[in-house]
Amino acid sequence: MHWPPAITQPIDFLQHQMSDVAENRIKFAKGTTTLAFKFGKGVIVAVDSRATMGPYIASQTVKKVIEINPYLLGTMAGGAADCSFWERELGRRARLFELRNKERISVAAASKLLSNMVYGYKGMGLSMGTMVTGWDKQGPGLFYVDSDGQRLKNDLFSVGSGSTYAYGVLDAGYDYDLSVNEAIDLGRRSIYHATYRDAYSGGSVNVYHVQEHGWEFISRTDVFDLHYEYEDQPKPQLV
């Protein structure tokens, strides 16, 4: 029977295996586009659905929004297994908090829980770039949490290999006073343009709307259909 070698310093071992000098280098090949933004009537979350392993498209139907509870959503970017496992664990801990304290966990506290959990594994190979959003007593909340334990609060985030393309559309069209339909269209359009330019994003655009009474799934639209829908629309005038 073959046993793996005893490793006294797992972080150093992993960093060596992921470096250029390793004989059989471990290299994560990942890509996605996710975004979320706050506006006057809640939070819009929009994601693509393509899973890739380098140039290989593994799936076009990945659910990259994780429904933590009826008031909290998490997004998936980086390693699918890492994001799925830790955000489901966050859902378990959020439920325990609710049972112990007789009230729902806040978005800030939920994001801090996730940050603290993954920080304990910093340098051990986790790959996560997630957004945690929802509605609590303070209103809508939006936080970014990554696998190093970094936690940021803002009104707008885009995460993944296609995020730079999504930011271009978001920055051009974002306004706090958007109507619900305008905000949904902005999220959907931003993801579409990212999938058009980024080979590692694609599939369908899934959109959620977070409101005071909880999140609502809005739509799932194939980017192929969106391409021809937008192609027929008049182009904006250049400044």
Q: Tens digit of pLDDT for each residue in 151-182?
A: 999 999 999 999 999 999 999 999 999 999 99
| CA distance readout (Å), 167 to 68, 71, 192, 196 | 26, 26, 12, 14
Strand, helix or coil for residue 156: strand
* pLDDT of 238: 60
Q: Pick out the chain residues at pLDDT < 50.
A: none
Residue 145 contacts residue 151 (beta carbons within 8 Å): yes
97 vs 112: CA distance, rounded Å: 13
The pLDDT of residue 139 is 94
Q: What is the pTM of this model?
A: 0.89
Catalytic residues: 32
Q: Determine how β-strand 42-47 pairs with β-strand 34-39.
A: antiparallel
Give the pLDDT confidence score for residue 209 in this predicted structure. Answer: 98
Computed over its alpha carbons, how large is the radius of gyration of the chain?
Answer: 19
- The confidence score (pLDDT) of residue 104 equals 94
The one-letter code for the residue type at 185 is D
Distance CA 75, CA 171 (A): 20
- Nearest in space to 86 (alpha carbons), one of 103, 74, 99: 74
C-alpha angle 147/153/157, rounded to 5°? 75
* Structure confidence by residue, pLDDT tens digits, 17-52: 778 887 777 777 778 999 999 999 999 999 999 998
The upper half-sphere exposure of residue 177, i.e. CA atoms within 13 Å in the direction of its Cβ, equals 0
Helices (H), ranges, the chain: 10-17, 80-101, 107-119, 163-173, 180-197, 223-231
